[in-house]
A = this chain, B = another copy of it.
Amino acid sequence: MERARDKVLMGVERRSVALTDLDRVNCAYHEAGHAVVAALLPLADPLHKVSIIPRGRAMGVTMQLPEADRHTYTKGYLEAQVAVLMGGRVAEELFMHHMTSGASNDIERATDIAQHMVCEWGMSALGMRAFRKAGSAFEDDRAHAMSEATARRVDEEIEKILAGGYETARALLDRNREPVKALAEALLDQESLEADELKDLLARTGASR
On A, residues with C-beta under 8 Å from B are 13, 15, 19-20, 23, 26, 42, 46, 59, 71-76, 78, 86, 89, 98-108, 110-112, 114, 116, 120-123, 127-130, 132-135, 138-139, 141-152, 154-155, 158-159, 162-163, 166
Does A155 lie within 8 Å of B166, measured CB to CB?
Answer: no
Does A99 lie within 8 Å of B86, measured CB to CB?
Answer: no
Does B147 lie within 8 Å of A128, measured CB to CB?
Answer: no
Does A107 lie within 8 Å of B133, measured CB to CB?
Answer: no
Q: Which of B89, B111, B154 contacts A130 (CB 8 A)?
A: B111
For the complex, what is the distance from the CA of A73 to the CA of B22, rounded to whole Å?
11
For the complex, what is the distance from the CA of A127 to the CA of B76, rounded to whole Å?
22
For the complex, what is the distance from the CA of A143 to the CA of B108, rounded to whole Å?
13
Q: Which residue of B lies closest to A115 (CB)?
A: B130
A-B contacts, 8 listed (Cβ < 8 Å): A19-B71, A105-B134, A107-B134, A108-B120, A110-B129, A147-B152, A147-B154, A150-B151
Does A158 lie within 8 Å of B129, measured CB to CB?
Answer: yes
Interface centre among A74, A98, A111 (most CB of B within 10 A): A74
Q: Which residue of B lies closest to A106 (CB)?
A: B128
Q: A143-B145, A145-B143 are in contact. Are A99 and B123 (CB under 8 A)?
A: yes
For the complex, what is the distance from the CA of A123 to the CA of B162, rounded to whole Å?
14
CB of A188, distance to nearest CB on chain B (Å)? 16
Q: Which residue of B lies closest to A159 (CB)?
A: B129
For the complex, what is the distance from the CA of A130 to the CA of B26, rounded to whole Å?
21
Beyond A72-B102, A146-B151, 16 additional contacts (C-beta under 8 Å) are A23-B72, A74-B101, A76-B98, A99-B122, A101-B121, A103-B122, A107-B128, A107-B129, A108-B133, A114-B129, A129-B162, A132-B139, A133-B138, A147-B151, A149-B155, A150-B152
